[in-house]
Amino acid sequence: VPPTRPFTFIGGDDGEWRVERIDAVAGDSLQSVATVAIVDRLIVEPSTAAGWLLRGVTSNERYATRREHVLLAAAQPALGRPEATCAALIPIRKTQQWWAMAQDERRAILEEESRHIETGLRYLPAVARRLHHCRDLGEPFDFLTWFEYAPEDAHAFEELVRILRHSREWSYVDREVDIRLVRP
Amino acid sequence: VPPTRPFTFIGGDDGEWRVERIDAVAGDSLQSVATVAIVDRLIVEPSTAAGWLLRGVTSNERYATRREHVLLAAAQPALGRPEATCAALIPIRKTQQWWAMAQDERRAILEEESRHIETGLRYLPAVARRLHHCRDLGEPFDFLTWFEYAPEDAHAFEELVRILRHSREWSYVDREVDIRLVRP
């Protein structure tokens, strides 16, 4: 298990991923940019005046049980597969009401009610994923999730996103931006 | 419920808390300093060459159930009571083995086996406490816990610390420093 790893997503004009669209799903959107670059450190200021920075760190799992962890670990693919030329960066923020709940209450909504982990498992190994935590860093979002998938799995990915957005867990999401990208 | 709040503990020579002793309980100690100051932001560099900085943020609860949360909220005193002139700052780091465990495994060790929350409850309202998370900030410790108590409760506080250090949870602590302080 690696320790926590820092990442910065840089919205600008010289990144390796080309932005296809940026949609505000809930709350404010992000400024339109041409590309996104990903670097493995926390950057403080953008090198260009245009664009934005989103920072997050990988961390320990917060909800998965051992059984779920084993299922996920066995099925999840690595990032960087040559055929996975489509990506999504989905920053979300959850409400104060969500964060005020106790651990067992959040777990019950996330999995027993909303089946977040079980649903994600159904889309493995098509969709690779890396979750970044950023609430404790004082960032505008609580999580940044980065997904990679092949063009032929785009329909499956849309289905996954749609199911999660209709779950009870998502009633606690008050800001969400959906950034779709391709690797030229 | 407040959002996450950042704090920096500054070991130096002009803080409001006077250091009585610094003991390395496990792993490396911290440099000896005369005082500790607490500021409510994340400071990057110390103003003097001597001393150290420890940064952390308050965050959502990670293990407590709703029932435990209600019991804690009803009994825990605020920081800053005039009679609470004794304090402890206890930075700890847990092993990679701890962080690699799933949520249900960590919870089972922390509470069902080690009774961390239940034990803490027995020392309320004598001991006020604020937990700061710092693992995701890339800090040398995972947690900084700040405790305040009156001189007549010092014996009870020693008992609390001794019980926790003998728990199974503490077999996953590989660095711990115990800093005791008084407010003159």
Query: Mutation test of the interface with chain B: which of A5, A57, A136, A144, choosing the one with the most B Cβ atoms within 10 A?
Result: A136
How far apart CA B68 and CA B72 sit, in angstroms, is 6
Q: Is the pLDDT of residue A1 over 90?
A: no
> What one-character DSSP code corresponds to residue A142?
S
Sequence-distant contacts of B26-34: CB under 8 A, at least 24 apart: B26/B173, B26/B174, B26/B175, B26/B176, B27/B93, B27/B174, B27/B175, B27/B176, B28/B175, B29/B177, B30/B91, B30/B177, B30/B179
pLDDT tens-digit readout, A102-154: 999 999 999 999 999 999 999 999 999 999 999 999 999 999 999 999 999 99
Question: Which of B100, B104, B137 is nearest residue A65 as measured by Cβ atoms?
Answer: B104
Q: What is the pTM of this model?
A: 0.94
Which residues of chain A neighbour B57 with C-beta distances below 8 Å?
136, 138
pLDDT for B44 equals 79
Per-position DSSP letters for chain B, written without gaps between them: -----EEEEEEESS-SEEEEEEEEEES------SEEEEESS--SS-SSSSSEEEEEE----SS--HHHHHHHHHHPPPS--TT--EEEEEEEEE-HHHHHS-HHHHHIIIIIIT-HHHHHHHTTTT-EEEEEE-GGGT-SSSEEEEEEE-GGGHHHHHHHHHHHHTSSGGGGEEEEEEEEEE--
pLDDT tens-digit readout, A63-91: 999 999 999 999 999 999 999 999 999 99
Nearest Cα neighbor of B171 from B64, B97, B76, B115 is B97
Counting one residue from chain A and one from chain B, the pairs whose CB atoms sit within 8 A come to 74
Instruction: Give the percent of chain B with pLDDT over 90.
Output: 93
Q: Is the pLDDT of residue A47 over 70?
A: no
pLDDT for B70 equals 97
Higher pLDDT, A184 or A104: A104
pLDDT for A104 equals 98
Q: Is the pLDDT of residue B49 over 80?
A: no
Which residues of chain B neighbour A66 with C-beta distances below 8 Å?
101-102, 104-105
What pLDDT band is residue B124 in, cutting at 50, 70 and 90? very high
Q: Is the pLDDT of residue B45 over 80?
A: no
How far apart CA B175 and CA B184 sit, in angstroms, is 29
pLDDT for A148 equals 98
**Interface predicted TM-score (ipTM):** 0.92
C-alpha dist (Å) from residue B12 to A93, B47, B91: 37, 9, 17
For the stretch B143-173, what's the b/e string if a residue is b when 16 or more beta carbons lie within 10 angstroms of its beta carbon?
A: bbebbbbbeebeeebeebbebbeebebbebb
pLDDT for A60 equals 96
Using CA coordinates, name the residue in chain B closest to A137.
Answer: B137
Which residues of chain A neighbour B110 with C-beta distances below 8 Å?
none
pLDDT for B15 equals 95
Instruction: Give the percent of chain A with pLDDT over 70.
Output: 96
pLDDT for A76 equals 96
Q: Name residue B145's amino acid.
A: T
What pLDDT band is residue A44 in, cutting at 50, 70 and 90? confident
Question: Which of B6, B66, B136 is nearest residue A133 as measured by Cβ atoms?
Answer: B136
Instruction: Give the percent of chain A with pLDDT over 90.
Output: 93
What's the maximum distance between 2 C-alpha atoms anywhere in chain A?
46
C-alpha dist (Å) from residue A163 to A58, A128, B29, B129: 24, 17, 50, 41
pLDDT for A153 equals 98
